[in-house]
Every structure is written in C-alpha cells, then in structure tokens.
A and B are shown apart, each in its own frame.
Chain A
Amino acid sequence: AQSVTQLGSHVSVSEGALVLLRCNYSSSVPPYLFWYVQYPNQGLQLLLKYTSAATLVKGINGFEAEFKKSETSFHLTKPSAHMSDAAEYFCAVIRTDSWGKLQFGAGTQVVVTP
C-alpha cells in the first residue's frame, strides 16, 4: 500500500520569504515522486519530479525538492515567495511497479501576503 501525507492544508507566507511545503510518503517499493501546482479553475501543472536520479530536484518557477529516503520525505521549497505562487500544491507518488497511477496528497493551499 502507499499513501501521501501533506502536512498543513494552508500555508501563509510573506512575499520574499521562504516557502516550505511538507510531503511524506509511504511505499513498499521505491516510488517516483511529484509536485503539482493548481491555480484557480485550472488543471494540474507539473512542478518537478523525482525519478531515482539526483535526490535534489529542481523544477519550474524556482521550486526545488529533496528526496530523503531515510525520512520518507519529499519537501518542496522556494527561497523567495512571489505573489504569483499563490495556488494549491499537491504531492503525488507513483509506484515503480504500477502503470503510472498517480496517488495524490490532500493538497496545501499557499497564500502569499505583501
């Protein structure tokens, strides 16, 4: 069985401050891990993905995430928040023995304040 847990359903950050979104997974086999962003009334857009290569993954819009097997975590960070980062963020996992089935966390809503 596998699951994805995102800590914090809502996060408020000041413009220019660090963005940190937490994601922990449980999987009996090595997973592939993803972060997606969803803007209001839009579909999901891939931010970055971990596919068993480098453990520090860089994505679009200045985001990056680090895979830590010992902590079963894949936290998303951005050094300096921008107003345009306000959105909902989803962590997701694919088992390596699956057919690309994405399992999502519950999501974290990010609010950026001036």
Chain B
Amino acid sequence: EAGVAQSPRYKIIEKRQSVAFWCNPISGHATLYWYQQILGQGPKLLIQFQNNGVVDDSQLPKDRFSAERLKGVDSTLKIQPAKLEDSAVYLCASSLGGQGISEAFFGQGTRLTVV
C-alpha cells in the first residue's frame, strides 16, 4: 500500500515570497491533516479535512495560509506571504476518518526554510 506522498521535500524561499505544498493521501482515506512542526516542538494541527470539507482550521493563520482539498483527494497548502517564523516542517497525514479512533499515517514532510 502506498503511503502519504508529499512534495517537495525541501524548499527555501525569501520572506514575503509565496510557496505551495502538495499532499496525496492514502487511497480511500477520507480525513486529511496538515501539521506544522517547528524545530524542537511537537506537530501542531493547522487544518483538518473530512473529504473535501474543513473540520477544523482554528489554528490556521488565515491571513497568510490557505489550504484546499479538491475532489476530496489531493490537497495543497499555500503560504503567501511567508514570514521567517514559518520555517518548519509541514507534515501531511491521512486516516480513514469518522469520529473517534482512526490511525493517522504521515508523509515524510516538507522542510521549509524562509530566509
């Protein structure tokens, strides 16, 4: 079974530039998550989709971050404009979905460096 695919693996941009990350979840997984992991910290949920609807985006800085999940499959996360403090690893995860317990499978992440 193929895992969660993310691209690119690494990205370096200057502050105020824009950047986009892509995620392809495991086939059949209804729930998709984007997490931000700042160096030395645990992952923090940015946004959670159930199919193509948003379940939770309370921690998403909506003035600069946006995410979409077209057709309930692939997802993109965009930052525009980027700030230095956005330097982090962005992890995508997916799970079968539904309420309660459902194991989340993580991609390898995209490491963003903002200079």
- Residues of A whose CB lies within 8 Å of any CB of B are 4, 9, 32, 36, 41-46, 49, 51, 90, 92, 94, 96-107
Contacts and interface: CB of A to CB of B under 8 A. Distances in A.
A100 B42 contact: no
A99 B99 contact: yes
Interface of B: 4, 31, 33, 40-45, 48, 50, 55-56, 91, 93, 95, 97-109, 111
Dominant SS among interface residues on chain A: loop
A43 B108 contact: yes
A43 B45 contact: no
B31 A32 contact: no
Contact of B95 (A36, A42, A51, A100): A100
Given A99-B31, A105-B42, A106-B41, A42 B103 contact: no
Given A43-B4, A99-B48, A100-B95, A94 B101 contact: yes
A45 B101 contact: no
Nearest to B50: A99
B42 A104 contact: yes
A44 B31 contact: no
Contacts, number: 76
Contacts of B4: 43
A98 B50 CA distance: 12
Contacts of A43: 4, 91, 93, 106-109
Query: Which 3 pairs of residues, A with B, have the shortest CB-CB distance?
Result: A104-B42, A43-B106, A44-B106
A45 B106 contact: yes
B5 to A, nearest CB: 11
Contacts of B44: 104
Contacts of A103: 45
Contacts of B100: 32, 94, 96, 98, 100
Contacts of A101: 33, 45, 48, 55-56
B67 to A, nearest CB: 15
Contacts of A100: 31, 48, 95, 97-102, 104
